[in-house]
Amino acid sequence: MATKIRITGKLAVAQVLADGKPKKSKVICAEAAAIATELKGRTPEATLSALLATEAKKADGLVVRTKPGEFKLRPKRKARVKAVAP
């Protein structure tokens, strides 16, 4: 029995923006809707557009807004690791 791969909207957006270049939201939504298998909204484009907007507002969100209507992946930050006492 083959396992079904679940691709969420967030993962699909990350795959579309993996090249690091900013893209227009309509392009991101169209490409991510074709990849995603687990979208909960009635219309995939509206669901992904809302995901982009909310993630851009978060401090640790997936994407960052470069221009109005244009997004790219947020650069990776170094993880803050606390030193463990011996």
- Residue 36 falls within a domain, yes or no? yes
Q: Please, which pLDDT band fits residue 79 given cuts at 50, 70 and 90?
A: very low
- Tell me, what's the pLDDT at 81? 47
- Residue 17 falls within a domain, yes or no? yes
Q: Tens digit of pLDDT for each residue in 31-64? A: 999 988 888 878 989 999 999 999 999 988 899 9
Mean pLDDT of all residues in the chain? 85
Domain that residue 42 falls in: 9-73
Domain count, the chain: 1
Using CA atoms, how far apart are residues 22 and 48, in angstroms rounded to an integer?
16
CB-based contacts of 35, cutoff 8 Å, min separation 6: 7, 12, 15, 16
- Residue 85 falls within a domain, yes or no? no
Q: What is the pTM of this model?
A: 0.79
